[in-house]
Amino acid sequence: MTEVAVIAYGAGNIASVQFALERLGATVRLTDDPAVIAEAERVILPGVGAAGYAMARLSELGLIEPIRAFPRPLLGVCLGQQLLFEASQEGEAVDLLGFIPGAVSRLEPAGPLPVPHMGWSRLTRDRDDPLLEGVADGAYAYFVHSYVCPDGPATLARADYGGPVPAVVRAANRWGCQFHPERSAEAGATILRNFLGLPEDPSC
């Protein structure tokens, strides 16, 4: 049974993530303990809200370096994906975790589309990855966000919301989902199941 540390740092509702993982047979620990995070088999970095607040909380709890040093599979969800990048332009510019080059910016869709992007959008896969095994091209996922990550070599899948929205990204052992897999029906459950099944060393 896979043990997952879900980082509880006051930036979002983590109960739905916990329940989705437990339905898949995982043992889940909600934690802000750096030692627990460092020893976990898997880590999920959730988040809803402002990047500056999230990074300040991670810093206050002494979690930034344990997250950066974590060598096994890590998944950022929603704001958690955005935190994988170098910086955010939200409010006053803020430095993020720095795993992926580029700055997160305000979502500015072409046409009369509202912000935030809230609801179901199709995923278009850009390349194969173990996290997306069994997820059909065109599968729907559930999004809620007002900021968007830069599109680049780290992008595994995109959504279209008046322009490309990097929906799944990867840098080495760190993945991100801009959408909420725990609220994305079968596609989301498949992604979480795949995450639980990743090898401890994802380079293998």
Q: Which residues are catalytic?
A: 78, 180, 182
What is the rounded distance in angstroms from the CA atom of residue 2 to the CA atom of residue 105?
Answer: 35
- The answer to whether the beta carbons of residues 162 and 191 sit under 8 Å apart is no
Cα angle 147, 152, 158 (rounded to 5 degrees) comes to 60
Dihedral sign for Cα 38, 23, 194, 107, please. Answer: negative
* 193 three-class SS: helix
Residue 37 and residue 66: Cα distance in Å, rounded? 7
Closest by Cα among 186, 76, 22 to 120? 186
**Distance in angstroms (rounded) separating the CA atoms of residues 170 and 84:** 9
